[in-house]
Amino acid sequence: MDVTEQAEEQRTVEPTAELPSVEIPPAAPEPDQPPFNTSILRLAYAFEFWIALIAIFTVWSQVGGQGHLDLIAWYLKLTVSLALAWAGVRMTGAIVEYRRAWNRSTVKWFMAVVALAALAGGITYWYHLHEVPDEPDTDENSATSVSNRATEGSILRILDGRSRENC
* 46: containing domain: 39-129
Q: Residue 121, SS3? A: helix
More confident site: 99 or 85: 85
Spatial distance between the Cα atoms of 75 and 123, rounded to a whole number of angstroms: 12
Instruction: Give a yes or no: residue 26 inside a domain.
Output: no
Which range among 12-26, 28-42, 44-58, 61-75 shows the weakest confidence by mean pLDDT?
Answer: 12-26
Please choose, from the candidates 90, 92, 80, the residue with its C-alpha nearest in 3D space to the C-alpha of residue 56.
80
Cα 103 from chain centroid (whole Å) = 21
Q: Is the pLDDT of residue 117 over 90?
A: yes
Spatial distance between the Cα atoms of 109 and 84, rounded to a whole number of angstroms: 10
Instruction: Give a yes or no: residue 96 inside a domain.
Output: yes
Q: What is the dihedral of CA 101, 108, 42, 40, to 10 degrees?
A: 0
Spatial distance between the Cα atoms of 104 and 111, rounded to a whole number of angstroms: 11
Instruction: Give a yes or no: residue 78 inside a domain.
Output: yes
Instruction: Give a yes or no: residue 103 inside a domain.
Output: yes
For residue 132, what pLDDT band results from cuts at 50, 70 and 90?
confident
pTM of the full predicted structure? Answer: 0.59
Per the structure, the count of domains in the chain is 1
Phi, psi angle pair for 68, to nearest 5°: -70, -35
Q: Are 93 and 36 in contact (CB under 8 A)?
A: no
For the segment 145-167, the average pLDDT, to the nearest whole number, is 61
For residue 16, what pLDDT band results from cuts at 50, 70 and 90?
low
Neighbours of 56 (CB within 10 A): 21
Instruction: Give a yes or no: residue 116 inside a domain.
Output: yes
For residue 134, what pLDDT band results from cuts at 50, 70 and 90?
confident
Spatial distance between the Cα atoms of 35 and 146, rounded to a whole number of angstroms: 84
Instruction: Give a yes or no: residue 114 inside a domain.
Output: yes
85 contacts: CB under 8 Å, gap ≥ 6? 49, 52, 53, 56
More confident site: 146 or 41: 41
Predicted pLDDT at 89: 96
Q: Is the pLDDT of residue 80 over 90?
A: yes
Instruction: Give a yes or no: residue 45 inside a domain.
Output: yes
Instruction: Give a yes or no: residue 70 inside a domain.
Output: yes
